[in-house]
Structure 1
Amino acid sequence: MNKKPDWKAEFCTMLEKLTERRSIWKVWNDFITLAAITISNLVKTSSWDEREEEYLSIIHTYQKEEQDIIVQLFAVMQLAYEENDKQDFLGNICQELELLQRLKKQYFSSCNVSVAMPSLCARN
């Protein structure tokens, strides 16, 4: 019997490798920005060049081995969403790593709350 991959653990392990020279918050912020630019630049728009410049300015602050890890993080994120597209994969990791604690803010609802809210609201 094949064991199901633990994408969250794999993602967190790889993310941790990038924190030797940077804070976890900096690595997280860079990854989110790079992922967003990667996805948005799948379509050529008037903002494409500007976003590409931002992408390059961020990615070039990382060494080649670290850049490879960032690519792997994106792949793990994609695999996790392919396995379960109803989850908040990045939100759960952000909460688990307590990345928003320092800001004293909450941006992510747990997946269970997100699923329950529409049915509760529809009962009226």
Structure 2
Amino acid sequence: MTRGDDLIKEILKIFESLRYKRDLWSLYSDFLEMTAIAISNSAERFFLPGSFEKREERYLSLAKSYDKDELLKMSEAFNLFVKLQDYNLESQGAKDILGGILMDLGLGDKWAGQFFTPDHVANLMAKLTYTEEGLKKEIKERGFVYVSDPAVGGGVTMIGLVNAMLDGGCNPQRDLFIECGDLDKRACFMTYIQLATLGIPAIVKNQDTLLGKVFDVWFTPAFYIDGWWFRLKSFKDKEKGGNLAKSKEIFEKREEIIYKEDEQLSLF
């Protein structure tokens, strides 16, 4: 039995200990949302104070339904998750930990319409789609690899790409940008948490791709590092024939664009 197996057992034990007086599906959903908010607000406290305040209010409303011991246990579950992710990266590559935990808890039937791709399949798909030569060529020509997935699920395919880049000698924390989304907000939370803690610059949108509606937007903390807003806007402006002056204007008005009360969100 590996250290990773032990960590998974410890995480599952925490959730199992709470299920005797809680609906496990609601518990896991709240855990995902509160964890995503905590990560997001670590950066948005400084960059998007309006969004920070709304999410902090949501966090407190969720936390009120749990006692101190339950909140401490959920915090410990997240700490174990981070340790497990570090272990996986050092030993076998990043994995879809949160999707695996959901299935191990027997909650798969609660997730209507979602299918969790196995890690090894996602890794193979990424390597077939993004060869080492192709990755390095794109980084050389564009400055980074840009990936978009409008129905990302729990993020396993993006985790597969992270592994493909690592195997190809690339640095996904510096050379990869992910823009993705999903209709299911829990899927967005899972993707956001996993990409954020892997240090990947990304935008995760809770969206209805078919109707063109965006309900919420999540920026990983790494997004705010190395001027990713300008890098991404410059990249997209070139595709659309725009200019960097427009990018700067949008950045300066980012909070108005990102979060409008009772209105559709829009980016780029």
Decide: shared fold, TM above 0.5: yes
Per-residue deviation, residues 27-56 of structure 1 (Å, max 9, x unmatched): 100100011001111112120011111111
Partner of 2:237: none
1:13-24 matches, cutoff 5 A: 13-24=13-24
Residue identity over aligned pairs, in percent, reads 30
Match of 1:56 among 38, 60, 85: 60
Relative contact order (alpha carbons < 8 A, sep ≥ 6): 1 or 2 greater?
1
Query: Measured at CA, do residues 48 and 122 of structure 1 come closer, stay the same or move farther in structure 2, by a change above 3 Å?
Result: closer
Deviation of 1:96 (Å): 2.0
SS, match of residue 127 in structure 2 = helix
Deviation of 1:122 (Å): 4.8
Q: Higher strand fraction: Structure 1 or Structure 2?
A: 2
Q: Within 2, Cα distance between the matches of 1:106 and 1:78?
A: 24
1:85-104 matches, cutoff 5 A: 85=89, 86-104=94-112
SS, match of residue 42 in structure 1 = helix
Structure 1 position 121 matched with structure 2 position 125: no
> Residue 37 of structure 2 contacts residue 55 of structure 2 at CA under 8 Å; is this kept in 1?
yes
Deviation of 1:107 (Å): 4.2
Q: Within 1, Cα distance between the matches of 2:128 and 2:39?
A: 33
Q: How many residues align?
A: 121
1:22-101 matches, cutoff 5 A: 22-43=22-43, 44=45, 45=48, 46-85=50-89, 86-101=94-109
Structure 2 unpaired stretches of 5+: 132-268
4+ long deviations beyond 6 Å: none
Query: Measured at CA, do residues 75 and 122 of structure 1 come closer, stay the same or move farther in structure 2, by a change above 3 Å?
Result: closer
Per the normalisation by structure 1, the TM-score is: 0.87
Deviation of 1:104 (Å): 3.8
SS, match of residue 34 in structure 2 = helix
Q: Within 2, Cα distance between the matches of 1:120 and 1:51?
A: 39
Structure 1 unpaired stretches of 5+: none
